[in-house]
Structure 1
Amino acid sequence: MNDLAFPGPRTEQGIAPPPIEVEIKLTGSAEAIAGAIRSPAIASRARNRGVFRRLEATYFDAPDHRLRRAGLTYRIRRSGGRLTATVKQELDIPEALAGRAEWEASVESAAPDPALLPQDAADAVRKALAGAPLFASVATRIRRHAIRLDVDGALLELAHDEGLIAAEGRSTTLHEIELELLAGGAEHLIGLARDLVETHGLCVGHMSKAERGFLLLGSGVPIVKAERPALDPAMKLDDAIATVLGAAARHVAGNLKAAEAGLQVEVIHQTRVSLRRLRSICGLMRRIAPAPVFRRLADEGKALAGALGRARDIDVFLAESLATAEPNDAARIDFAGLKAVAEAERRTAYEGARAALDGPSASRLHLALLDTLVRRSWREDLPPVEGARLNEAAAGAAADLLDRLAKQVRRRGRRLKTLPAPERHELRITVKKLNYAVDLLANLFEGSGKLRRYQNALAGLQQALGRANDSAVLPQLLDSLTTGAAPDLVRAAAYLEGWRARDDHDTEQDIRKAWRRFRSVEPFW
């Protein structure tokens, strides 16, 4: 999971502490944050009026930001007359909370010196630096109002931070709330965050202060691609569900962070992929454990992914359909006008995507995922028979699921040559579900040549069906771009549609070939 041991836990008499720093950030306008702090949800739980501190911090890294790439931050902070050196490391934890290991040491100087850090932290910093020098990269000046809260037996700290983040002459203001779990159950932390999101219009923030500072330096937040869950054949079904859903939650959260840093073509794509993958995973989980929570999560993921669909469709049109047509245009069609219209539509679509990702629905989905994982709430609404299955081995349920999906694909693929478009679309969706299931559950079965052959055949079928679907969607997109347009634009769209249609025959042959290959491979489960 990580190179470092967990730091020693903080303790509060009578309350079990968490082993790591676990927090949720909330962002919003200064007025919304002030209203949240004055709300009964906070005032009724506060131990006192809190304390105010002025915090000045410098974050250090190598010129190429190699500490950051290793998931480490190295900070020296001044609070009053005290200097504290802190190293934090991002952790891959099942609940997908913003969990970080944290090490601190009091120091005499504001100059960085890894030798003064706790041994594990010093070793990790030296290893990541590999001899590179440290430089001051980001500076923050923060006014913090910290309030301790008693929430149903848990101890939380609310820190209201406002101030400035600066790097190389650039700066940005900061207004945020950090809710940190000091002791007790994480469900209380999540519950309070949900309350503040719903009643005060706050949103979950995914970027740390250091990340926002590095963004000023032009160092963006990387996109996150799907991970294969770390399943074990000996796992119980309940643990396997938590592992699979946790991986999906990290996939979504990582790309929401990348989207917060800035929308680009690949960010839109991977964020949408993570949301659609979540929806498919929830659908698969419902087949194993038919709990209502999976439908709710799937519906929320579907709605948010839908808000990104228009932006993604135009991205694909500009990068693939239009770009590949232009170099082969023997008819001298002028695509400039069509491209200009598409780019204007893309700007509008990106504005819509930005509004959706900054709105309450994204925060609700993130917090709902955390709550589901922390409480394992799929257990709550299951009938006794299905509930008892959660204690059975996951491999058996996984084999049953894969078998049902594979039979469904074969059934829907009958008479493939004459399959009408709606049924062809249903086949593509079922193939995609089976592909997700194979990728998610493969670790429950011993690796073999059978698994690789099955994956390759299934991936080839999905790709061929996907190309056919892209071709079918193109006319609808062109119609939306050229309705009421000048004749030159309509002519360019018609030419492009015809140019794309010329590949349909080859695509159809690829589908039939991929289908024969898929039918010939043996199941690996």
Structure 2
Amino acid sequence: MADTSALEEELKLELSPYDADLLADLLTDLLADCGLAGGAPRLVSQESTYFDTPDHALARAGLSLRVRRSGRRHKQTIKADGSAAGMLVRSEWEREIAGNQPVLDDDNPVTALLGHRTALLAPVFVVENERRVWNRDGIEIALDQGRIVAGERLAPLCEVELERKGAALDALFALAREIEARVPARICVLSKAERGYRLLAAAAPAPKAGRIRLTPQMSVADSLALIVGHCLGHFHRNLPALLDHGDAHALHQARVAIRRLRSALSLYRPVVRDPRKVARFQRDLQWLAGKLGAMREIDVLLANDDDPEALAPLCAARRKAAGEAAAALRSKRCRLLMLDLAEWIAIGRWRRAAPEAAPGELSLGAFAAAVLTRRRKILRKRGRHLAGLGDEARHDVRKAAKKLRYAADFFAALYPQEREGRRARRFVARVERLQERLGTLNDRVTAPAVRARLGLAPRRGPTADAEKAEQAEQAEQARLLRAAAKDYDEFATARPFWR
């Protein structure tokens, strides 16, 4: 039997083991309360073995290959990564097979990718799962409780999948809200395959943003949906390490994801006709950024403070800030924010208001050029006479540099020619250098206020002479400011890559 290709659309919610048990007991009644009446769920025991090459070629290409055993039946499934702001939208190829080893012909992407290297495929991890399945009015509801086993490493698996089987998308989100109202459940963009690969790599680096694959043929609306989905995926993929360990690198990437998301909403504001909703998103994202920012401020002090007497109180303050950030990330406010963003991007009123019908009916390329030109103009204006600006005005320059850099990152794929690509990389590098230099300067300027807020004495530095320490700090800030002014001049004279 050949592989059959299909498009899978699902909304996935993550639960704690306790809440998964609670949901298992009440989900049938919950569905009936929602008008989705039916019988008891179908119980299925599953064991899914995931295959890859020794160098994980499939994972690096965004593919997963599994053989799932349910009773005596074996089903082979190949999936391609894909997400849109919390909705998982993935191509998949399925077929029934006779045993527990993959059967690969020429009609699937694994064979096309690996060629003769399919002989290297071997099991890499296993997902053991007890699944309860309800089918109601075009929605398949699957509650999964089990574990992922990768060698000697184990991780629990507790999630509910709402897969579209003919229902409208708003029905999936309505059901997700009903579930969240009864048990704490947050949107999850990690597939079981991604979780397994993460378990294999115990010290995997914090995921970075990566490149957004916009194309000139996209509508303005679809480009925003892709960008927001990309930002939310970046955020969610850093949550496990941030929640479980308070990892500083995951914290940094989660903050970058939020900043990029806020920038995207700001950059697209002229064509998105839903100001109240966008304003609410910005408020909640700013609140969340503030909770994470408190941790980051302490991390900066820990990285730069050479006062041994400050180490213990800084570590204590860091633990407190990490606890408050974790509480915010697990809060109902955050869960609903992420669910609302996912629904707004997928089926929000703004999409029906046709952003492309804005004045001039801009193509995506024209819209991107207009945004980049405007943000460049703002940065050039704010950054003039940089060396003479005060702290607050300099901070405004830094924020302008961030927005321009993120806009350039978002739209760079629209300029694929080799020469354009080189110019884009040079341009972004100059803006990034200016932004980071101003960030370092801002950290040094604000450090005394952060220390005071934490109840710490002023930093002594390597010398006990307070006057000499202050002079050394002022000299370092002056050096950074001169370097930032030079960075600005290099940016200001750089040729825009979008012209």
Q: TM-score, normalised by structure 2?
A: 0.83
Preserved contact between residue 288 and residue 401 of structure 1 (Cα < 8 Å): no
TM-aligned CA distance change 1:396 to 1:62, over 3 Å? closer
Which residue of structure 1 lines up, in the alignment, with residue 378 of structure 2? Answer: 408
Which residue of structure 2 lines up, in the alignment, with residue 355 of structure 1? Answer: 327
Cα distance in structure 1, aligned partners of 2:218 and 2:426? 25
* 3-state DSSP of counterpart to 1:160: strand
Which residue of structure 2 lines up, in the alignment, with residue 307 of structure 1? Answer: 291
Which residue of structure 2 lines up, in the alignment, with residue 159 of structure 1? Answer: 142
Q: Is residue 89 from structure 1 mapped to residue 79 from structure 2 by the alignment? A: yes
TM-aligned CA distance change 1:517 to 1:176, over 3 Å? closer
Which residue of structure 1 lines up, in the alignment, with residue 259 of structure 2? Answer: 276
Deviates more, 1:481-490 or 1:232-241: 481-490
Cα distance in structure 1, aligned partners of 2:179 and 2:121? 42
Q: Return the offset for 1:269.
A: 0.6
Preserved contact between residue 221 and residue 356 of structure 2 (Cα < 8 Å): no
Q: How does 1:202-351 map to 2 (within 5 A)?
A: 202-213=185-196, 216-219=199-202, 223-233=206-216, 235-256=218-239, 259=242, 263-292=246-275, 293-319=277-303, 321-322=304-305, 326=306, 335-351=307-323
* 3-state DSSP of counterpart to 1:502: helix
Which residue of structure 2 lines up, in the alignment, with residue 55 of structure 1? Answer: 46
Q: How does 1:162-181 map to 2 (within 5 A)?
A: 162-181=145-164
Which residue of structure 1 lines up, in the alignment, with residue 133 of structure 2? Answer: 146
Q: Return the offset for 1:282.
A: 0.7
Q: Is residue 102 from structure 1 mapped to residue 92 from structure 2 by the alignment? A: yes
TM-aligned CA distance change 1:164 to 1:237, over 3 Å? closer
* 3-state DSSP of counterpart to 1:521: coil
TM-aligned CA distance change 1:169 to 1:417, over 3 Å? closer
Preserved contact between residue 83 and residue 90 of structure 2 (Cα < 8 Å): no
Q: Return the offset for 1:24.
A: 1.3
Q: What letter matches 1:231 in structure 2? A: L
Q: What letter matches 2:126 in structure 1? A: V
Preserved contact between residue 220 and residue 261 of structure 1 (Cα < 8 Å): no
Q: Return the offset for 1:146.
A: 0.8
Preserved contact between residue 3 and residue 93 of structure 2 (Cα < 8 Å): no
Q: Is residue 434 from structure 1 mapped to residue 411 from structure 2 by the alignment? A: no
Cα distance in structure 1, aligned partners of 2:187 and 2:217? 36
Cα distance in structure 2, aligned partners of 1:23 and 1:394? 28
Q: What letter matches 1:418 in structure 2? A: G
Which residue of structure 2 lines up, in the alignment, with residue 20 of structure 1? Answer: 8
Cα distance in structure 2, aligned partners of 1:486 and 1:408? 36
**Cα deviation digits, residues 43-88 of structure 1 (max 9, x gap):** 4213332312222333444556554444444333332232x14233
* 3-state DSSP of counterpart to 1:287: coil
* 3-state DSSP of counterpart to 1:503: helix
TM-aligned CA distance change 1:221 to 1:290, over 3 Å? farther
Q: What letter matches 1:45 in structure 2? A: L
Q: What letter matches 1:509 in structure 2? A: R
Q: Is residue 424 from structure 1 mapped to residue 424 from structure 2 by the alignment? A: no
- Pick the aligned partner of 2:447 from 461, 470, 474: 474
Cα distance in structure 1, aligned partners of 2:259 and 2:119? 42
Preserved contact between residue 52 and residue 146 of structure 1 (Cα < 8 Å): yes
Give the unaligned 5+ runs of structure 2. Answer: none
- Pick the aligned partner of 1:520 from 479, 493, 496: 493
Preserved contact between residue 231 and residue 257 of structure 2 (Cα < 8 Å): yes
**Cα deviation digits, residues 358-406 of structure 1 (max 9, x gap):** 3334432332232122225324568xx9844484323333333333333
Q: What letter matches 1:275 in structure 2? A: I
Preserved contact between residue 157 and residue 182 of structure 1 (Cα < 8 Å): yes
Deviates more, 1:429-438 or 1:215-224: 215-224
Cα distance in structure 2, aligned partners of 1:159 and 1:138? 19
Cα distance in structure 1, aligned partners of 2:388 and 2:214? 40
TM-aligned CA distance change 1:487 to 1:187, over 3 Å? same
Q: What letter matches 1:504 in structure 2? A: Q
* 3-state DSSP of counterpart to 1:115: coil
Cα distance in structure 2, aligned partners of 1:213 and 1:493? 53
Q: Is residue 77 from structure 1 mapped to residue 65 from structure 2 by the alignment? A: no
Cα distance in structure 1, aligned partners of 2:265 and 2:116? 37
Cα distance in structure 2, aligned partners of 1:221 and 1:128? 29
Q: What letter matches 2:475 in structure 1? A: R
Deviates more, 1:336-345 or 1:302-311: 336-345
Q: What letter matches 1:175 in structure 2? A: C
- Pick the aligned partner of 1:506 from 479, 490, 498: 479
* 3-state DSSP of counterpart to 1:224: coil
Q: Return the offset for 1:182.
A: 1.9
TM-aligned CA distance change 1:273 to 1:127, over 3 Å? farther
Which residue of structure 2 lines up, in the alignment, with residue 8 of structure 1? Answer: 5
Identical counterparts, % of pairs? 31
Cα distance in structure 2, aligned partners of 1:455 and 1:391? 28
Cα distance in structure 2, aligned partners of 1:87 and 1:128? 20
Preserved contact between residue 460 and residue 469 of structure 2 (Cα < 8 Å): no
* 3-state DSSP of counterpart to 1:161: strand
Cα distance in structure 2, aligned partners of 1:426 and 1:487? 30
Deviates more, 1:121-130 or 1:303-312: 121-130
Deviates more, 1:418-427 or 1:259-268: 259-268
Preserved contact between residue 24 and residue 97 of structure 1 (Cα < 8 Å): yes
Q: Is residue 120 from structure 1 mapped to residue 108 from structure 2 by the alignment? A: yes
Preserved contact between residue 179 and residue 185 of structure 2 (Cα < 8 Å): yes
Which residue of structure 2 lines up, in the alignment, with residue 483 of structure 1? Answer: 456
**Cα deviation digits, residues 293-332 of structure 1 (max 9, x gap):** 332332232222222112222223323x13xxx5xxxxxx
Q: Number of residues paired by the alignment?
A: 490
Which residue of structure 2 lines up, in the alignment, with residue 13 of structure 1? Answer: none
Cα distance in structure 2, aligned partners of 1:241 and 1:272? 19
Q: Return the offset for 1:118.
A: 7.6
- Pick the aligned partner of 1:369 from 314, 332, 341: 341
TM-aligned CA distance change 1:233 to 1:169, over 3 Å? closer
TM-aligned CA distance change 1:163 to 1:496, over 3 Å? farther
TM-aligned CA distance change 1:261 to 1:85, over 3 Å? farther
Preserved contact between residue 307 and residue 356 of structure 1 (Cα < 8 Å): yes
TM-aligned CA distance change 1:214 to 1:426, over 3 Å? closer
Deviates more, 1:245-254 or 1:464-473: 245-254
Q: Return the offset for 1:485.
A: 10
**Cα deviation digits, residues 195-224 of structure 1 (max 9, x gap):** 322343222334444554555555466533
Preserved contact between residue 4 and residue 95 of structure 2 (Cα < 8 Å): no
* 3-state DSSP of counterpart to 2:269: helix
Cα distance in structure 2, aligned partners of 1:60 and 1:235? 34
Q: What letter matches 1:8 in structure 2? A: S
Cα distance in structure 2, aligned partners of 1:391 and 1:7? 39
* 3-state DSSP of counterpart to 1:98: strand
Give the unaligned 5+ runs of structure 1. Answer: 10-18, 327-334
Q: CA RMSD in A?
A: 3.7
Cα distance in structure 1, aligned partners of 2:116 and 2:171? 35
